A and B are shown apart, each in its own frame.
Chain A
C-alpha cells in the first residue's frame, strides 16, 4: 500500500470510523474543518512515528503540517528525505 493511502486509511478509521475512501478527499482540512483537534494530531503523530519510521520534532508540530492527508504525506516525505 502506498504511503498516502496508509495515512488516509488511518485518518478514516481513527477519526471517522470508516473505510470508505470517498468519505474524505485528500485535500479536506482536518484541523480547520474541525475533524481533528490537538489530541487528534498527537494521535496522528504517534501513528506516523510508529508506522512510517519518522520522528516528529516539537518544532514541526504545526497545524499546517497535519491539516490534510496530502499535507501529512508531503511532510512525511520531507522527513524521510532528510533522515
Chain B
C-alpha cells in the first residue's frame, strides 16, 4: 500500500484549536495590541472556522463579524453566515456592498470586458471563468462560460486583456470588503482576521490588499480537509460543515477547483502535502488513482502557481534594507 493516504492529514483538533486560540490571544494582546477581532464571514467553511476560533480565543463579546454580500453573492451564503453569527453569539452587521461596487465601476468595467468576447452579454446573463491547461501539463489559460437569459450556454477562450480586466474589476469586491473590515477594526480598536486555508495561502488564491490583507491569519497552516475537520470539532452548524467551497464571486456558480486549483480540494490537499513531504509523483498518482503524467503535471502546476503568485506575499520592495523600527 502507498504510504500516501488521506489519513496523513488527520490532526488532533482539540489540541490544534487550543494552540490556535492561544496564538490568537497572545498575538492580539502582545504583538498587535488590539482589543478584539473583526472577521468577515461569507458562510463558507474557512471564515466560519476563523470566527469560531476567534470566539474561542477572546470570547464572543470581543469578536465583531461582518456579512458583506453583493450582486453576485448566493443568498444562501448570507443565510449561513447569519446562522453562524447567531450560533457564536457575536455582534454582526450586514452591509450590501453592491452600490459601492457599482459606483466604483466594478460591474461596468467587468461587463464591458465580457462583452468584448460575447457581444450579446448584458446584466441578465450569468457567467464564470474556468481555468484550463495546468493539470494537463500545459500553460494555464482561462475560458469564459456564460448562460444567457433563455438558458443557452456559451463558452469561449478569453484573450489575455479581457481576462485581466475581468479579474481586476472583480478584485474590487475583495478590496471593498477589506476597506469595511478595517473601518470597523479602526473604530473598535480591533485587529482584522484573514481567513485563507493552506491551499489558498500556498497557491496565492487571494487578492493582494483584498482578502490577502489582514493582521493575523489563524488557519493559513491548515489544509482544507483539516479546516472541515476543525469545523466539526468546533460544533459548527451542519449547513456550514456541509457547504461546498465556491468562489461566490461570479454570477454563475463556480467551484474553487474549476476557477483556480488543479484538482478538487481533497485531492489537492493530498497533492500539496505529498509535494511538501518529498513524495514522488508516482506515489501521488497511486494514491489519487490518476496516471503518473497527470501527477507530474499537478506538481508542476503547484510550483508554477507558487512562482506566479510569490509577489502577492511580498512586502513592498525597498532599495536598501531599513533597520526595523519596531524591534521585531
Contacts and interface: CB of A to CB of B under 8 A. Distances in A.
Contacts of B137: 62
B21 to A, nearest CB: 38
Interface stretch (A2-10, A19-27, A31-39): A31-39
Contacts of A34: 307
Contact of B160 (A39, A61, A62): A39
Interface in A26-54: 31, 34, 37-39, 41-43, 46
Contacts of B160: 39, 42-43, 46
Q: Among B133, B139, B157, find the residue whose CB has the most chain A CB atoms closer than 10 A.
A: B139
B141 A42 contact: yes
Nearest to B311: A37
A62 B308 contact: no
B139 A41 contact: yes
B304 interface: yes
B304 A37 contact: yes
B133 A61 contact: yes
Interface size class on chain A is: 10 to 19
Interface residues of B, number: 16
Nearest to A34: B307
Given A39-B160, A43-B160, A61 B138 contact: yes
B159 to A, nearest CB: 8
B138 A62 contact: yes
Nearest to A44: B139
B294 to A, nearest CB: 15
A77 interface: no
Interface in B131-174: 132-134, 137-141, 157, 159-160, 164
Contacts of B164: 39
Contacts of B133: 38, 58, 61
A62 B139 contact: yes
B56 to A, nearest CB: 39
A63 interface: yes
A58 B307 contact: no
13 contacts: A34-B307, A38-B133, A38-B134, A38-B304, A41-B139, A42-B141, A58-B132, A59-B138, A61-B133, A61-B141, A62-B138, A63-B300, A63-B304
Interface of B: 132-134, 137-141, 157, 159-160, 164, 300, 304, 307-308
